């Protein structure tokens, strides 16, 4: 651990409390999922089709990917606190714009601007890495994202309930309130964790080759991209499956969409408890195998019989469980390649993860368009999970070879 003073809640002279980091990442995740049960009704209100409305998910994810590339270097240079407060301010204004938007074009424009809040996901991880070493940061990221998972877990359920009671606009009022609360919390609690005035852009540029040419960085980054890709494909297609194929209500759809988050919270708890003892690579591999097993079983059952909605979405909790073990540890791995560029590494890794997720989310919507079965979604999620296994195996084989070469060196 570094020489940072212990975090004291609502004390700007110390690093942010874990509660603040959890909400910082959690509101970012909530913004992705709260209105998913409303997508089909929103499409009807705006007079557009589901594929266009689904761009509110995939386009948002693409903007999030770009945002993560930008905020990482900015936070390494100017500090975490300033970037967080500015980003949350933009998010609040964009959410108000989305609430008032009279057309689908304006709604999507403000929806893209909402991606500013993704800063919370990037910088909550970078702040942890500022404070801890690689193994300990994996454990702490696990605890932060375990709490974070609880927010999007209830998000679709809350969004579905708000939709049924007041209409889909109510979800954006809820998001505005969450944004204002988060800004105040960060203002009074988030102390700066970047030391010495930050890392200058020129110094960052000279360090990029060491980061971008490191096979371990790319192995971990691709692992997070493919592991989370299964979940983002789920985000892109699950609302259609629940509503159009199974005929679930908005509230029931919200519960179904929260299934992966249940497993994710448990997986993050396991990461927080056992990452230091087991090691990050082994935890990543175990998580990837669990995700692939759940998606493989779902696809096999789908080939044999018609899967009830409860079983289909229930198996997705295994995807969440696996990702809860995979993502904190793989993230800690990619952040450990160049610790002085933790923000940049977090941003680049997050951009790959979210950018790939945006593509898979949109692909899921296209594959399911006017379909009568969930099979395309199940197959897409399985393929992405298998590619995550391949990525972490690459990292493990490379590290084994490097260890062997060092052991025989004179």
CA atoms within 13 A on the CB side of 310: 0
Checking if the pLDDT of 125 tops 70, the result is yes
Residues 352, 343 contacting (CB under 8 angstroms): no
Range from 7-21, 190-204, 276-290 that averages highest in pLDDT: 276-290
Q: What pLDDT is stored for residue 134 in this prediction?
A: 59
Superfamily of domain 18-195+213-400 in CATH is: MFS general substrate transporter like domains (1.20.1250.20)
Q: What pLDDT is stored for residue 352 in this prediction?
A: 80
Question: pLDDT digits over 133-180, tens only?
Answer: 656 766 777 777 666 666 766 788 888 889 989 999 999 999 999 999
Tell me which of 107-111, 163-167, 272-276, 344-348 is least confident: 344-348
d(CA 134, CA 157): 35
Mean pLDDT of 65-78: 80
CB atoms within 10 A of CB 366: 14
CA atoms within 13 A on the CB side of 102: 0
Closest listed residue to residue 67, CA positions, set 18, 106, 31, 15: 31
Q: What pLDDT is stored for residue 203 in this prediction?
A: 64
Checking if the pLDDT of 366 tops 50, the result is yes
d(CA 324, CA 85): 28
Q: What pLDDT is stored for residue 368 in this prediction?
A: 80
d(CA 229, CA 72): 21
Per-residue pLDDT band for 111 (boundaries 50, 70, 90) equals very high
* Residue carrying the six token digits 């690689």: 134
d(CA 327, CA 306): 31
Q: Which residue has the higher pLDDT, 293 or 342?
A: 293
Closest listed residue to residue 96, CA positions, set 206, 200, 172, 204: 172
Query: Any idea what DSSP says for residue 374?
Result: S
Residues 14, 5 contacting (CB under 8 angstroms): yes
Question: pLDDT digits over 223-272, tens only?
Answer: 999 998 898 888 778 888 888 889 888 788 888 887 887 888 889 888 87
Q: What pLDDT is stored for residue 1 in this prediction?
A: 46
Closest listed residue to residue 379, CA positions, set 323, 300, 274, 314: 300
Checking if the pLDDT of 410 tops 60, the result is no
Q: Which residue has the higher pLDDT, 242 or 362?
A: 242
What whole-number percentage of the chain has pLDDT above 70? 87
Give the list of residues 6+ apart from residue 6 with CB closer than 8 angstroms, or none.
14
- Residues 10, 346, 69, 352: what is their CA dihedral angle, to the nearest 10 degrees? -140
Tell me which of 81-90, 106-115, 307-316, 395-404 is least confident: 395-404
Q: What pLDDT is stored for residue 346 in this prediction?
A: 72
Checking if the pLDDT of 395 tops 70, the result is yes
- By residue count, the chain amounts to 410
Q: What pLDDT is stored for residue 2 in this prediction?
A: 53
Mean pLDDT of 50-70: 81
Q: What pLDDT is stored for residue 257 in this prediction?
A: 81
Q: What pLDDT is stored for residue 297 in this prediction?
A: 96
Range from 8-12, 132-136, 229-233, 344-348 that averages highest in pLDDT: 229-233
Closest listed residue to residue 395, CA positions, set 239, 185, 214, 144: 214
Mean pLDDT of 31-54: 85
CA distances from 207 to 33, 45, 76, 133, 213 (A): 36, 49, 12, 20, 10
Residues 144, 15 contacting (CB under 8 angstroms): no
Q: What pLDDT is stored for residue 156 in this prediction?
A: 81
CB atoms within 10 A of CB 6: 8
Q: Exposed, middle or buried: residue 409 (CB in 10 Å: 0-12, 13-18, 19+)?
A: exposed
Checking if the pLDDT of 51 tops 80, the result is no
Q: What pLDDT is stored for residue 145 in this prediction?
A: 66
Tokens of 404: 């062997």
Q: What pLDDT is stored for residue 386 in this prediction?
A: 96
pTM of the model: 0.71
d(CA 224, CA 84): 23
Mean pLDDT of 342-346: 70
Q: What pLDDT is stored for residue 119 in this prediction?
A: 87
Domain ranges across the chain: 18-195+213-400
What does pLDDT average to over the chain?
84
Mean pLDDT of 49-68: 81
d(CA 234, CA 381): 7
Residues 43, 52 contacting (CB under 8 angstroms): yes
């Amino acid at each position: 651990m570094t020489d940072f003073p212990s975090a004291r809640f609502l004390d700007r002279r110390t690093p942010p409390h874990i509660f603040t980091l959890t909400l910082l990442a959690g509101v970012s995740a909530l913004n992705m999922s709260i209105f998913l049960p409303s997508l089909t009704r929103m499409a009807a209100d705006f007079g557009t089709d589901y594929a266009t409305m689904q761009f509110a998910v995939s386009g948002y994810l693409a903007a999030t990917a770009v945002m993560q590339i930008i905020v990482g270097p900015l936070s390494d240079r100017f500090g975490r606190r300033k970037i967080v407060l500015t980003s949350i301010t933009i998010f609040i204004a964009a959410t108000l714009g989305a609430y008032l938007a009279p057309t689908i074009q304006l709604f999507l424009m403000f929806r893209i601007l909402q991606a500013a809040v993704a800063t919370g996901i990037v910088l909550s991880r970078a702040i942890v890495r500022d404070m801890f070493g690689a193994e300990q940061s994996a454990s702490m990221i696990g605890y932060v994202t375990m709490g974070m998972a609880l927010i999007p877990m209830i998000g679709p359920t809350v969004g579905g309930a708000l939709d049924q009671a007041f209409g889909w606009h109510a979800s954006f009022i809820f998001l505005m309130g969450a944004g204002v609360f988060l800004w105040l919390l960060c203002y009074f609690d988030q102390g700066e964790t970047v030391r010495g005035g930050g890392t200058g852009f020129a110094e960052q540029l000279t360090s990029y080759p060491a980061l971008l040419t490191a096979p371990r960085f790319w192995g971990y980054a691709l692992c997070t991209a493919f592991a989370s890709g299964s979940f983002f494909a789920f985000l892109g297609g699950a609302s259609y499956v629940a509503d159009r194929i199974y005929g679930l209500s908005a509230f029931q759809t919200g519960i179904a969409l929260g299934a992966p988050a249940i497993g994710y919270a448990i997986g993050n708890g396991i990461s927080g408890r056992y990452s230091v003892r087991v090691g990050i690579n082994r935890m990543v591999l175990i998580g990837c195998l669990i995700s692939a097993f759940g998606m493989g079983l779902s696809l096999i059952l789908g080939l044999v019989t018609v899967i009830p909605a409860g079983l289909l979405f229930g198996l997705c909790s295994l995807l969440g469980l696996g990702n809860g073990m995979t993502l904190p540890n793989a993230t800690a791995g990619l952040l450990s390649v160049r610790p002085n560029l933790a923000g940049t590494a977090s941003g680049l890794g997050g951009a790959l993860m979210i950018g790939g997720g945006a593509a898979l989310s949109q692909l899921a919507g296209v594959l399911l368009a006017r379909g009568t079965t969930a099979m395309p979604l199940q197959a897409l999620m399985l393929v992405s999970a298998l590619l995550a296994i391949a990525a972490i195996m690459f990292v493990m084989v490379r590290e084994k070879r490097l260890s062997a070469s060092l052991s025989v060196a004179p």
